[in-house]
Amino acid sequence: MKITHIDAWAVSMRLSEPYTIAYESVDSTTNVFLRVRTDGGIVGYGCSAPDFEITGETPESVLGAIHGIAEPILRGTDPLRTARILELIKPKMKDMPAAVAGVDTALHDILGKKADVPVWKLLGGYRRSFKTSVTVGILPVEETVKSAKQWVAKGFTALKIKGGSDVEEDVERILRVREAVGPRIEIRFDANQGYDVEQSLRFVKETSSAGLELIEQPTAKGQPDLLGSVTRKTQLPIMADESLLNLRDAFRLARRDLVDMINVKLMKVGGIGEAVLINGVARAAGYEVMVGCMDEAALGIAAGLHFALARPNVAYCDLDGHFGLEGDPSDGAVILKKGVLYPTGKPGLGFDLD
């Protein structure tokens, strides 16, 4: 079997509910979709969700890389040799992880379809479904509480509350949410690099009664020692997100034991293949893993879900980037029931684009 054609196109989608985090406000997103055709009749589909603030990529740069770099390498090759293809592509698409992730997910889709099994089974098949958290962006306290209660009413049992711009307000926000949703709902907090060490420790101390599960990336991504300082001075688990962009970052964090857990996003690390390698480092270090996402169409979420379902040390799932995307051509690529995500059950990633 050989690859014969590669198509890539961008789709802009508005968010039904715009949101704000510590360093930006978002009301729309643009994903790049891939279609990889083979002479065996199997077609693989992939998704790339560039985020300039995180990876420095744009839809235009992703399309340029796919057509100008990936396509000449892919055409005429055996799509089942995923490791070889990705090793040829990655050096030429350095610092373009979302673009690589698009190619990677399309190749894994072909692999699963050829084997006639879902990707999550190919990767290990550890679990069949995964509870996901749902994110509440930075809002006034009363609106945060209202949003949290609405999500819980829909069946979600894990909330991720965004903050990082005002410690005092963040503390009030968390305490009020806990009071409103009760003790059984899991609450996670993401500061998105908004704090220094002192602010991080103050936040932990003043929200201790709320029973938070974890804090995600409280300090600046370019200063890993700050993360280490927070980790060493508190019992609350500290997670790296923006500080982890590749396999080497995972090794550096683990070698110096700077965090308690890591957030692996396919668009941030370069796809399923690279996520598997990073997960191996995390497991060797005794780290739990969260599989997270950008503002991704459901096809990108499906790829993250298949990876999360496969690996036993993936303890958390934060795959809500497709919620409220208007005009998502891959709507239906994952199934959501009361805060729990399921794959479609079909081979590959489980969804074919028209």
Hey, how many other C-beta atoms are within 10 angstroms of the C-beta on 186?
17
Helix axes 224-232, 197-206, angle to 10 degrees: 30
Of 36, 34, 31, the closest CA to residue 11 belongs to: 31
Q: Which residues contact 57 (CB under 8 A, 6 or more apart)?
A: 50, 51, 96, 97, 98, 99
Residue found by looking up tokens 């968010």 in the block = 15
Could you give the C-alpha distances from 347 to 34, 337, 344, in angstroms and in order? 17, 21, 9
Torsion of CA 203, 205, 208, 214, to 10 degrees: 50
Radius of gyration of the chain (CA): 20
- In the set 113, 114, 265, 268, the catalytic residue is 265
- In the set 216, 260, 295, 320, the catalytic residue is 216
- In the set 57, 71, 190, 328, the catalytic residue is 190
- In the set 113, 114, 162, 221, the catalytic residue is 162
Q: Is 166 a known active-site residue?
A: no
Own/partner pairs, 280-285, CB within 8 angstroms, 24+ separation: 281/247, 281/250, 281/251, 281/254, 282/250, 282/254, 282/313, 283/313, 284/254, 285/254, 285/257
Torsion of CA 36, 13, 322, 216, to 10 degrees: 110
Task: Spell 66-96 as b/e; 16+ CB within 10 A means b.
Answer: beebbbebbeebebbebeebbebbbeebeeb
- In the set 241, 249, 296, 320, the catalytic residue is 241
As a whole number of angstroms, the distance between CA 71 and CA 6 comes to 6
Direct distance between the N- and C-terminal alpha carbons of the chain, in angstroms, rounded to an integer: 22
Q: Is 116 a known active-site residue?
A: no
Q: Is 241 a known active-site residue?
A: yes
Q: Is 29 helix (H, G, I), strand (E, B) or coil?
A: strand
- In the Cβ-directed half-sphere of 303, how many Cα atoms lie within 13 Å? 40
DSSP state, residue 251 = H
The catalytic site residues sit at: 162, 190, 216, 241, 265
